[in-house]
Amino acid sequence: MTLWTSAEIATATGGTASTDFTVSGVAFDSREVGPGDLFIALKGEATDGHRFLDQCFAQGAAGAIVSADTAHPHVRVADTTAALEALARASRARTHAKIIGVTGSVGKTGTKEALFAALDRGARGQAHRSVKSYNNHTGVPLSLARMPAQSRFGVFEMGMNHSGELAALTRIVRPHIALVTAIAPAHTAFFSGEAAIADAKGEIFQGLEPGGTAIIPFDSPHRDRLIAAAAPYAAHIVTFGSGVGADVRAIETMPVASGGTFVTARLGESELNYTISQPGAHWVSNTLAVLAAVRAAGGDLALAGLALAEMEGLTGRGARFTVPVGAGEALVIDESYNANPSSMRATLAVLAQQDATRKLVVLGEMRELGADSDAYHAALAGPIRAAGVETGILVGESMRALSNALEGQGDFVHVPDAAAAQRSLRALLAPGDAVLIKGSNGVGLSAVVAALRSGIG
């Protein structure tokens, strides 16, 4: 299926095409380029995409956007980063899809994936979303540029760690629906407090299309602040949560044998019963946000409920698998992609509910927490004890504060890096264990997970 022609790319970017070609995909990471793709040769501080042109065309690329000479089929522009954004704007301009923007301190990737699944269930092949966590100044334009023109729905994750970043991204995405999952301590090194984080997240509403809908967490202490941020831009403001007064509200929840939750939700005058496959109270909140967005987008709520029951855990964000250990096996809960104080507590609560002979943790440090980092880390001692965890590996220098807080309260070892954590875990695992692996992405605990999956952990 043709995504872009060389003439369309040239028109969108103001560039010049060397020849006629068509592409079926877009990438700026040479490792991701496949047959039929357009490769955008970005120039960064550390590398230059032009160095990988031969490699990309050997992998099957059909064309490239470049700012230097090449013999390969291309569109020549002055600035490839600006061209990527221009292509994203052209993609947004040509589509008639309902566009949904998702942000939040926690839960945005899982909510984005659940929302995509819910919409795709009723419009097979006509829903589009950001892949992975492509949510920054290059990832968002790339995700837009990849959207087929005939899409009915587009779901885009938007992230930030500084004020002003979301304002720029949302004006590219121009969502019809803007959703904030939750406000929590994250990137606090760059903000004066949670109120400032809420203000930065509230920037997503600035890009709303006329008649647009803002979706806001009712139970958040920053609810009114977010409503005030949305009011100048949103024609409709919808809240979700468990508190009385939420527009989309969980009125009853019940755990199910599979580890998920059965929910009865009220949406205005109607009710919906559905099952969430993923465990944890945070997923109840996430799915209420999903239902609010599906309803605002005109999607099928009944099919959305079915999709939520079918969702599998995401790699790095709740995926589960077992590994052989001795004469039995151990359960691994992969939360290795990222971490902040709120998500740490939520996943420790999930571990607490797990039926296991012994519960272990491999917890990596939480980064970008600023001057209060030690306090945030030490405060995890309570949730760890509440989860029934008495054995664990704490990874990274910032975890020293938690190690000190847990001294004398179990068998916890503090190690410097992921490689040391992998060695320590190999010696610890026993049949019947359940181990939670979670930390900021930069700690590299995904390598521990990969080693366990491959049988070398």
Confidence band, pLDDT 50/70/90 cuts, at residue 442: very high
Report the pLDDT value the prediction gives residue 188, as an integer from 0 to 100: 63
Question: CA 10, CA 87: separation in Å to the nearest integer?
Answer: 9
Nearest C-alpha neighbor of 141 from the set 95, 205, 90: 90
Contacts for 270 with CB less than 8 Å, ≥ 6 apart: none
Look up the pTM and report it. Answer: 0.83
Contacts for 337 with CB less than 8 Å, ≥ 6 apart: 109, 133, 315, 316, 317, 441, 446
Question: CA 257, CA 243: separation in Å to the nearest integer?
Answer: 26
| Coil/strand/helix, residue 175 | coil
Task: Work out the percent of the chain whose per-residue pLDDT is above 90.
Answer: 84
- Residue 130, Cβ neighbours under 10 Å: how many? 28
- CATH fold of the domain at 319-454: Protein-Tyrosine Phosphatase; Chain A (3.90.190)
Q: pLDDT higher for 297 or 190?
A: 297
Contacts for 371 with CB less than 8 Å, ≥ 6 apart: 189
Question: CA 194, CA 217: separation in Å to the nearest integer?
Answer: 15
* Mean pLDDT rounded to a whole number for the chain: 94
pLDDT digits (tens, 9 = 90+) for 401-414: 999 999 999 999 99
What does the block give as tokens for 233?
Answer: 């831009």
What does the block give as tokens for 126?
Answer: 């006509």
N residues, the chain: 457
Homologous superfamily in CATH for domain 4-80: MurE/MurF, N-terminal domain (3.40.1390.10)
Average pLDDT rounded to a whole number, residues 433-452: 95
Average pLDDT rounded to a whole number, residues 281-287: 94
What does the block give as tokens for 411?
Answer: 């068998």
Confidence band, pLDDT 50/70/90 cuts, at residue 120: very high
Confidence band, pLDDT 50/70/90 cuts, at residue 98: very high
> Looking at the predicted structure, is the pLDDT value of residue 186 above 90?
no
List, edge to edge, every strand of the sheet that includes 270-276: 127-129, 153-157, 98-103, 177-180, 213-217, 236-241, 248-255, 261-267, 270-276
Contacts for 173 with CB less than 8 Å, ≥ 6 apart: 92, 99, 101, 140, 144, 156, 158, 207
pLDDT digits (tens, 9 = 90+) for 310-358: 988 878 888 899 999 989 999 999 999 889 998 899 899 999 989 999 9
> Looking at the predicted structure, is the pLDDT value of residue 64 above 80?
yes
pLDDT digits (tens, 9 = 90+) for 210-219: 999 999 999 9
Indicate the residue type of 376.
Answer: Y
How distant is the alpha carbon of residue 178 from its chain centre? 15
| Domain ranges (residues) in the chain | 4-80, 95-310, 319-454
Homologous superfamily in CATH for domain 95-310: Mur-like, catalytic domain (3.40.1190.10)
pLDDT digits (tens, 9 = 90+) for 132-176: 778 899 999 999 999 999 999 999 999 987 889 999 999 999 999
pLDDT digits (tens, 9 = 90+) for 3-28: 999 999 999 999 999 999 999 999 99
Question: CA 215, CA 234: separation in Å to the nearest integer?
Answer: 10
Average pLDDT rounded to a whole number, residues 249-259: 91
> Looking at the predicted structure, is the pLDDT value of residue 454 above 90?
no
Find the range with the poorest average confidence among 33-37, 135-139, 203-207, 432-436. Answer: 135-139
> Looking at the predicted structure, is the pLDDT value of residue 456 above 70?
no
Residues pairing with 437 in the sheet = 334, 362
Confidence band, pLDDT 50/70/90 cuts, at residue 457: low
